[in-house]
Structure 1
Amino acid sequence: MSTRIALINAEAAKFNAQIENLRVREDEFKKLIDGMQKLKDSIGAEKLELETKLRSLEAERPPVNWLPPELLGDIFLAVVDQEDSETGSTAKPTSRHPTIALSHVCERWRSVALSTPRLWSRISCEGAEPMGDMQRTFVRRSCTAPLDVEYRSLSMVPASMESRHVVEIFEDLSDHLARVRSISFECCGAEAVQAVVKILSTHNIGLRSLSLSITTPRPSFRGTPSLLERGTAREPDDINQAEPRLSDLKSLKLGEVPLFSLPNRLFVNITNLVLSYTPRPFVVLYERHVYQLKMSTLCQFLELTPLLEDFTMSNTVPRFDVFLNEDDMAINPDISTRPRVRLPHLKRLEWSYPYPGEIHWFVTFFDFPALEKLDIWTEEPPARRVTDWHISGHHDDWISHASAKRGRSLLSSLRDLSLQCAGENSLHSFRKFEVPFLQRLEITNADVRTRTGGKPFPSLPRLESILRDPRLLYLTHITLSHFDISPEHGRGEAFLGYMPALRSLSLDSCTGVRKLMESLQRKGVGTLGSSPDDPKGRPLVKMCPRLEAISLWGCEDVNISDVRAVVMARNVRVDEEKELNRSGQVVSESRRMIKPLRATRRRQGRDQAGMNLTPAGMADTKTTSKGALSTANIVYLRLNGCVGISREDALALGQLGVMDIVYDGRGVDS
């Protein structure tokens, strides 16, 4: 028994020795493997670092990645703003949103996008999903940047649901209302607008811009009588209670929303105002739940905007329910009257679509001492007006009587006048305005029938039939669109002959242009005084001697010889011109003189009284007329869609001193 145990012990000792030996060897291999693993890990880390550096180096190949992060962030902001302006700044799918797309381009762009809070500050919602995960993410990533909140309702959303969505938007933004810089809401019904008005009335939000509109045509305020009641004109004592210190609002846009729905304190610092109220037909003027924009209400509203600089009425004509105090309304003492509204800072007025007879009537309700730009798009009145849309109850003879009594309007600060009309007769309504210091004039025929070929272009009227005084001594730019320049002898001289300071002439889709070009070729008598650099002197031209730029779009009856003759008459010296004439090129010459217009009695009275109407920084009339003798070179030509002019012929005019030639469109070689 003992012998067997001894043998077992001996065998066990032998196995233990072997196991110990293997354990030692295992430890040695483990140490070796650990060392190899560490070496492998270090090699992997070094490889990863080099790969990262290589990717960074490869990423620097495109020049856009050389830009610093701050500049790249500004570029991202410009891209997003352009995308919103082109496609509308409403909610977009996540994959198509420009901000999301920019942040998914690469690691660096994502880092720059996430570190640019302003890139995430535009919160856009739609009626189906007012505030989703994407909008909340935008709010979180915008940090402390000012927010622009936009909402557009869907037509299939019920009014109650739309109103609830609007409330939910402001509830989600309750902690960020102090950051809201602008609000733009397009709602289908008045209920949602009422919710917005309630928020703005109860919260002191530091808004800079507000756009609030109802998209439903002729909306009903049956369910929101408070809006309609607040939308009526206020009493004078109530108007004077405005609180300018509480408002930062600079830009306001209202569409079909009653004017006085918002608190008066929001209006006093407005500089930009856009109103859009479709005129109502007579049959709905007296419906209880329909809002009408009246002239009396508009005047009282504008009295709350003393700092207004830019005023736009889009597809809006107020109902004229009031006259001026100076109008002799003894014929009907029941008609209400009011004083003029003074807007001392208004610089720009844009209006569409009044009837021609309403323009002077509307303008005379106001005093615009600083008005610089007037943009009017008129609508041709119907042949027979069975019922007046805008006067409603007042007879046309009252309007004619009062309008004649108001006389002419002097717009001494006006520099830019743009007239879009639907016919030749519409232009005659502007003869009641005097614009002595006008610098830019654009006249456009907007009749759709002429543009589609269903009706010929109207004949361009003489300038004295458009404006009270055609002598535009300070006019530098003129644009004519979709008119026929009559071949009547002297029509070109009658139109351009009294614009001595004209520098730019643009003609868009006009016919009869050749006659006008012939007028620009005509020369005066004699030459300009010689100089050491130009011993032979330069020829005098009869009209527009300072003309430097000519632009022709779609003028199909003009050819290269007409353009070349104008350039030669103004760019070529006398000796060079004679050489060109001997080589076979003929320059048209005419000795017909322009008879100056006799000064009007009113202008003579101003001159005798010593009134100086010359604007600051501008030469007086005598200096301008004398300086007009200096013939300028044609240095800029733009030719677009002129079938009688080829690209080669157009570019060849560079040899005659035209430095900038832009050729675009079909020509004889296309």
Structure 2
Amino acid sequence: MTTANRFAVLSVDDIQEPSATVMAESRSPISWIPNEILILIFLAISDDPLHLTWVCQHWRSLAQNVPHLWTQTRTAWPIEALDVILSRSRALPLDVNIDATSTTLLRTAFSDQLARVRSLSTVLRSESRVEIQKLVTFIATQNFAVLEDLSINVQTSHTNLLQVIPARGHSDAKVRCALRALSLVNLPCEYIPENMLQNLTLLNISYPHAEEGQALKLCDLVNMLALTPMLDTLIITNTPVDGSEAVPSSRIVNLKHLTALQWDGCPDTLFSVFLRNVTLPALTLLEFDLRTVPAHLQYYAEPAPVTALATTTLLSLKANQLFRTARILRRFEFPVLESLELTNTELKMPVLPKMETLFRTPSMLRLTHLIVTAFTFESEDVLEMLGYMPALVSLWVDACAGLPALLQALAHGRCPVLEELEFWECDDLSGSDILDVAQRSPWPEDGRYIKNLPKRGRKQDEMHGVRLKRVKIDSCRCVDEEEVEELRDGGVEVDYRQYVDNDLDD
């Protein structure tokens, strides 16, 4: 058999029953695998296709002729062989990943391939202002015809270098950019040309190493968002924000497509200012970590009007002083809220504030999922809180205290359609208290119907209440195996992970 025939694609009959000749020509059964199947294996498991070419001549020939294997470039590839490697991808879109101390590789090896770069992720590790200048200029002046995903990470300990680089308000490129996702780390957003913002659906900004006086200006952020009419998701993490330069009150940006807003580490007063300058008619997910700043660093802003976030179904709030953020929350109404997450980021464990303190409208008739982290429950407050949530189906409690008060309220009829409980690292959780909840009557103690409760597919006769179905207990000190077995005997599905004291010597 000739070499060409040996590497040829096998017929259907050969795939079903390999001939004796083919099997005899190889000592290894792996060589009996049809080429079609071998290609699928290559595509599924290969992190670096170069490794495939080192196995045998058959694999080398096969891998070199599969263009999809060579569309993801890697910095580890030898520069002198990069042209040959890129040619194997033929005309397919490229996913380029570069981690280097200069921009030479990006500006030279890929200069002829930019028209087919689909995603570009570059990490520049440099203390040189010249190299950072080159990167910014290169990105702003090139035609990326099919670029959809761009990630720029400038790793420098001197972020003040970035302030002397002239920002570019537009690109010299004439081609309308197809960019959909943009991620910036330590690179001010004003350096991105306007044509790259027109079709953005995802914007991720992180500026963790900013020095004093180098924070992201709120006015720059609002101005940038005005250039992103298609934005769907906005993520801001580890980014100090400067609100000293006021945003004109007439500057209102309508983010009509934005469905998710995640902001980590935002000063509480600035969050209110930000929301005065944007409208969010389609917002579904609101997740923010508010940091209370000292009084002398706070920015004065006129009180924002009360806004109804009529489409927001998921709210996640993290704060170091949750009760002090109430003035922010009470500027909003959440009429269709379905999932609520409250997380305390202080070292101490404060009492969970009352719902009427946090929310302008504490009644949450549509709320089905609640997560509470690092708070203490008090008897009277928790009774009132759960009374506002008649449709609650799932309750997760993480590292909280006062669990007897919480479970007692549930055992006495609060949240009558509750089906699922999860507990993580709750030291005063008792299995007997959970058992009381599992054994409660599925109807409210006063025998009344649950009014205004959304049906969500339930039958009318099920609206009176249901019994507890699932419980997860993870690393809770006071729960033992015997109590878990009692729950299981009562028909409750239990996922149990025993508490392990890591301080004990092995």
Deviation at 1:480, TM superposition (A): 0.7
Q: In 1, are the aligned partners of 2:281 and 2:311 still within 8 Å (CA)?
A: yes
Confirm or deny: 8 A CA contact 2:241 2:266 kept in the other structure: no
1:515: how far off?
A: 1.0
Let me know the Cα RMSD of the aligned residues. 4.0
C-alpha separation in 2, matches of 1:462 and 1:50: 75
Question: 19, 29, 32: which one pairs with 1:56?
Answer: 29
CA separation of 1:204 and 1:52: change in aligned 2, threshold 3 A? same
> Are 1:244 and 1:269, in contact at CA under 8 Å, matched by a contact in 2?
no
Shift of 1:169: 2.9
Q: How has the CA–CA distance of structure 1 residues 214 and 411 changed in structure 2, closer, same or farther, with 3 Å as cutoff?
A: same
Residue aligned with 2:377, SS: coil
Aligned residue among 358, 363, 386 for 2:270: 358
1:443-482 Cα deviation digits (max 9, x unpaired): 11122xx3xxxxx411111111111111111111111111
Please list the CA deviations of residues 310-352 of structure 1 after superposition, one character each: whole Å capped at 9, or x if unmatched. 001112243224556xxxxxxxxxxx54321111000111112
Preserved CA contact (<8 Å) 1:500 1:546: yes
After superposition, the Cα gap between the structure-2 partners of 1:547 and 1:171, relative to the gap in structure 1 and judged at 3 Å, is same
1:270, CA displacement in angstroms?
0.4
Whole-angstrom distance in 2 between the partners of 1:107 and 1:644? 62
- Contact 1:228–1:258 at 8 Å: present in 2 too? no
How big is each residue's C-alpha offset from its partner over 1:529-562, in whole Å with a ceiling of 9 and x where there is no partner? xxxxxxxxxxxxx321221111111112112111
- The CA distance in 1 between the partners of 2:58 and 2:466, in whole Å, is 53
Compute the displacement of 1:245 (Å).
Answer: 6.5
Matched position secondary structure for 1:353: strand
Q: 2:285 aligns with which of 349, 373, 378?
A: 373
Q: In structure 2, what is the equivalent of residue 605 of structure 1? A: none
In 1, Cα distance between equivalents of 2:371 and 2:62: 45
Identity of aligned residues (%): 25
Residue pair 1:411, 1:433 contacting (<8 A) in 2 also: yes
Q: Which residue is 1:509 aligned to? A: 399
Structure with the higher strand share, 1 or 2: 2
Does 2:503 align with 1:566? no
State the shift of 1:627 in Å.
8.1
- Specify the SS of the correspondent of 2:182: strand
The C-alpha deviation readout for 1:45-99, integer Å capped at 9, x for no partner, is x999655466328988xxxx9994465345326xx4xxxxxxxxxxxxxxxxx55
| Conserved 8 A contact 1:190-1:214 | no
Q: How does 1:92-131 map to 2 (within 5 A)?
A: 99=49, 116-125=66-75
Partner of 2:191: 261
**For residues 497 and 65 of structure 2, what CA distance do their matches in structure 1 show?**
43
TM-score by length of 2: 0.82
Write the distance in 1 (CA, Å) between the matches of 2:35 and 2:469: 39
**Does the 8 Å CA contact 1:293/1:318 hold for their aligned counterparts?**
yes
Task: Work out the CA distance in 2 between the residues paired with 1:548 and 1:185.
Answer: 47
| 8 Å contact kept, 1:72–1:112 | no
TM-score (norm: length of structure 1): 0.63
- Counterpart residue number, 2:498: 665
Rate the CA distance shift 1:244–1:446 in 2: closer, same or farther, 3 A: farther
Contact 1:647 1:667 in 2 (8 A): no
Unaligned runs of 5+ in 2: 1-18
On the 8 A contact 2:190/2:224 being kept in 1, the answer is yes
Please list, as runs of the form range in 1=range in 2, the aligned pairs for 1:81-160 lying within 5 A after superposition: 99=49, 116-125=66-75, 132=79, 138-154=85-101
Structure 2 Cα separation of the partners of residues 272 and 361 of structure 1: 22
1:255-654 to 2 correspondences below 5 Å: 255-278=185-208, 285=213, 293-321=216-244, 323=246, 336-382=248-294, 385=296, 388=297, 396=299, 399-400=300-301, 402=302, 404=303, 406-428=304-326, 429-447=328-346, 450=347, 456-486=348-378, 489-522=379-412, 542-569=413-440, 619=454, 629-654=463-488
Structure with the larger helix share:
1
Aligned residues: 480
Q: Name which one, 1 or 2, has greater alpha-carbon Rg.
A: 1
Cα distance 1:442–1:100, how it changes in 2: closer, same or farther (>3 A)?
Answer: farther
Q: 2:56 and 2:420 mapped to 1: Cα distance?
A: 47
Segments of structure 1 that go 5 or more residues without pairing to the other structure are 1-45, 81-97, 155-161, 286-290, 325-335, 451-455, 523-541, 575-588, 597-613
Letter in structure 2 aligned against 1:192? E
Look up the equivalent residue of 1:306 and give its one-letter code: P
- The answer (yes or no) to whether the contact 1:120–1:142 under 8 Å persists in 2 is yes
- Structure 2 SS opposite 1:483: coil
Change (3 A) 1:438 1:67: farther
1:594-643 Cα deviation digits (max 9, x unpaired)? 9x9xxxxxxxxxxxxxxxxx9xxx9599x99x888421232221110112
Q: Which has the higher mean CA deviation after the structures are superposed, 98-107 or 497-506?
A: 98-107
Q: For 1:270, what is the secondary structure of its paired residue?
A: coil
Please say if residues 646 and 667 of structure 1, whose CA atoms lie closer than 8 Å, have aligned partners that are also in contact: no
- Contact kept, 8 Å, 1:242 with 1:265, in 2: the verdict is no
Q: In structure 2, how many angstroms separate the alpha carbons of the residues matched to 1:242 and 1:347?
A: 32
Q: CA contact under 8 A between 1:570 and 1:634: conserved in structure 2?
A: no
Per the alignment, residue 130 of structure 2 pairs with 191
CA distance in 2 between partners of 1:103 and 1:196 (Å): 33
**For residue 436 of structure 2, what is the amino acid of its counterpart?**
A
**Residues 641 and 278 (structure 1), Cα distance of their counterparts in 2 relative to 1, 3 Å cut:** closer
- Shift of the 196–627 alpha-carbon distance from structure 1 to 2, 3 Å rule, reads farther
